[in-house]
Structure 1
Amino acid sequence: MLRGVLAGLLAGALWGLVFVAPRMVAGLPPVDFAAGRFLAYGLVALVVVGFNRRPLPTARQALAAAGLSVLGFTGYYLLLVLAIRDAGTEVPALVIGTIPIWVMLLGKPGHLRWRALVPALVLTAAGLALMMALPADAGARPHFWRGILMATASLAAWTAFALLNSAWLKRHPGVNATDWANWLGLATGAGALLMWAVAGSGVAALRAHPQAGFFLALCLATGFGSAWLATILWNVASQRLPASLSGQLIVSETLFALAYSFAWDGAWPSAAQWAAVAMFTLGIVASIRAHRE
């Protein structure tokens, strides 16, 4: 269990980077960030599969990877980037932070009593309640609530991905976590290429952007670390832990996203935000203890 928990926490640390990355380069459409990140993920997966001679998926496995890649990668992240554009970083990160509650409720093992999960649920909900006060600049954002709607849609997509991906891996214990991450990467890269071809900026526009080099570096960093490596770590967690516990570990993504956002803005969290972080952390600990009983 410890290895699964550590893998889930590290995946959260890497995923948290994608919340602040779209704010680092101004003037590019959200689809460019989503497509660039996942094209990099697909290229990494292609290199690993080709050079290490990893097995290719069967037709049914490829179809499963294609469907899950939309839910957990291209569709989810495009919605999230649109939400960050309209509502900023903090509130969409907190909307996504409710994923543990939904995954815990929908993915609870049959032997685990609801009473055992109450402390973790209460702590997580209390932390979210503290953090969900509207930011001071919400009124200055004309499309703030549209951003919240986009964040909610991305929440639904990733919740479905977490449950379906965990169930698929448990039904196929012979599939290596790294191989599955690579197959998801190939499907995601193909979807990202289609997304960019349909709605992305042209090559000339990207090259002319004053931060083109930095944008490329961000795409490579988040494609390798926040997509390929984080997916391997999450697959390890999904194979070793019940869905209700692995879902609770997604709280770490929110915590890291907030930490990166505060660092980028050069601001310190308020007392209420520190209290919320403590409640999130205690919620993880309470969930781990509940699953050990």
Structure 2
Amino acid sequence: MVGKHESGGIGAGTGVHTNTGIGTGKGIGAGIGAGALWGLVFLAPQLAPGFTPLQLSAGRYLAYGLAAAVLIAPSWRRLAAVLAWRDWCALAWLGFTGNILYYVLLAQAVRGGGVAMAALVIGLLPLAVTLVGSREHGAVALRRLLPSLALGLAGLACTSRQSLATLGRDALPGLLCALGALVSWTVYAVGNSRRLAGLRALSPHDWNLLTGVATGIEALLLALPAFFPHLLPAGVGPDAPVHAAADWLRFAAIAGGVAILCSIVGNGLWNVASRALPLTLMGQMIVFETIFAAGYGFLWERRWPTGLEAAALALLVAGVASCAAVHRRDGRQPDG
């Protein structure tokens, strides 16, 4: 395709990112910022208890798509000129796995097993992404990352002791949904990082907005079963509870807030980090979503963390610091 930017598919790219002009320090800072915003996602199902996971997902990503379309409109012609068909296919795939499917599964996991259980399973994302990244060509050897992974797993073990002890058989569907969300977002994180490594004609912000447009279009397919199940044949769509006008306004505010803070700003920061850092370090950045989600949970419950919970958070932070130190000594990233 003449005039189009030719990049590899979802599997393109390597584990070692070239110097993009974004220092390691700024990349890590962007990853921390993304985690701080993404942690808010775990509160959304609690703030809108009367709405289904499908409604939460459709509302959030319709708002994400609308906001992204408005923001990207002035640059649309320029962006369309550098995108090939394979790039649009990648955007559709990433929007589905990293946004719609992930959030439906996460919301159902929170409803079925609670915030603590969902956060625990999603907390395995750093391990999953780092293991995949360690197999990339030129990546830091896995054996050198074992101390940081061990610290992270120790932190998760501290948080899981009480959470898993209180789970009953009725929480099994929620646990399975959490595991599905783990797989879905791992696929997204790896594919998105590889894609960004080969798209030098676009900024991380542009890619995030394009992903938002693709996600918003896909979310239209969710709108009918989510908000108008009575228009579907009997037994096809889920039952939708009746809500007052005030409830819908609250839902719209929550969906819009999550879309702006978590998707527009949070995903944009994540893309900045993804372009600056290798997968083996990017995986550790996901820890901050767990850390901030736990912190917001403590604020929501109006309590201080227990000794075990505080130890867990300290171990998670130590794991990230250890991983960053390995990459700094390895010399694969410019000093921040």
Same fold (TM over 0.5): yes
CA distance change for structure 1 residues 126 and 192 in 2, over 3 Å: closer, same or farther? same
Comparing 209-218 with 21-30, which one deviates more in the overlay?
209-218
Q: 1:269 to 1:87 in 2, by over 3 A?
A: same
Q: So what's the TM-score if we normalise by structure 2?
A: 0.82
Kept in 1, the 8 Å contact 2:131–2:142? The answer is no
Q: Which residue of 2 aligns with 1:15?
A: 38
User: Which residue in 2 is equivalent to 1:147?
Assistant: 174
Distance 1:209 1:261 in 2: 28
2:103 aligned with 1:80: no
Q: 2:122 aligns with which of 96, 106, 113?
A: 96
Which residue is 2:63 aligned to?
40
Out of 125, 142, 151, the position equivalent to 1:114 is: 142
Backbone CA RMSD of aligned residues: 2.0
Between the aligned partners of 1:287 and 1:86, the Cα distance in structure 2 is: 33
CA shift digits 1:190-248 (9 cap, x unpaired): 11121121333579977625422221111111101101111111111010000110111
Is 2:189 the partner of 1:162? Answer: yes
C-alpha separation in 1, matches of 2:303 and 2:279: 35
1:61 is the counterpart of 2:84: no
Matched position secondary structure for 1:269: coil
Instruction: Give 1:51 deviation, angstroms.
Output: 3.8
Aligned CA distance change for structure 1 residues 111 and 14 (closer, same or farther; 3 Å) = closer
Contact kept, 8 Å, 2:28 with 2:273, in 1: the verdict is yes
Cα shift at 1:114? 2.6
Identify unmatched segments of 5+ residues in structure 1.
none
Give the drift of 1:173: 2.2
Whole-Å separation in 1 of the counterparts to 2:51 and 2:228: 8
Report Cα offsets for 1:81-121 as digits up to 9, x if no partner: 00000011011111101100111111025352333212101
**CA separation in 2, counterparts of 1:202 and 1:150?**
22
Whole-angstrom CA distance in 1 between matches of 2:164 and 2:106: 21
Q: 1:180 to 1:136 in 2, by over 3 A?
A: closer
| Equivalent position of 2:73 in the other structure | 50
1:259 paired residue among 295, 312, 315 = 295
Cα distance change on mapping 1:7 and 1:106 into 2, 3 Å:
same
Decide whether aligned partners of structure 1 residues 195 and 4 sit closer, same or farther in structure 2, where only a CA change above 3 A counts.
same
Query: Secondary structure at the residue paired with 2:161?
Result: coil
- How many residues align structurally? 292
Q: In 2, distance between residues paired with 1:206 and 1:267?
A: 34
1:261 CA displacement: 1.4
After TM superposition, the score normalised by the length of structure 1 is 0.94
Equivalent position to 1:223, from 226, 249, 259: 259
Q: Tell which deviates more after alignment, 196-205 or 105-114.
A: 196-205
Instruction: Please tell me whether Structure 1 or Structure 2 has the larger radius of gyration of its CA atoms.
Output: 2
Residue range with higher mean Cα deviation, 34-43 or 167-176: 167-176
| Matched ranges for 1:102-251 at <5 A | 102-108=128-134, 109=136, 110-135=138-163, 138-139=166-167, 143-200=170-227, 208=244, 210-251=246-287
Runs of 4+, deviation exceeding 4 Å: 201-207
Instruction: Give distance in 2, aligned partners of 1:266 and 1:277.
Output: 18
* Contact 1:92 1:148 survives alignment (8 Å): yes
Question: What is the rounded CA distance, in whole Å, between the counterparts of 1:111 and 1:84 in structure 2?
Answer: 34
Q: Is the 8 A contact 1:85 1:147 kept in 2?
A: yes
Residue type matched to 2:86 in 1? Answer: R
Maintained 8 Å contact 1:104/1:243: yes
Greater helix share, structure number: 1
Question: Contact 2:147–2:319 (CA<8 Å) still a contact in 1?
Answer: yes
SS of 1:143's partner is: helix
Structure 1 residues 240 and 199: CA distance shift in structure 2, 3 A: same
Q: CA deviation at 1:148?
A: 0.8
Aligned sequence identity (%): 38
SS of aligned partner of 2:79: coil
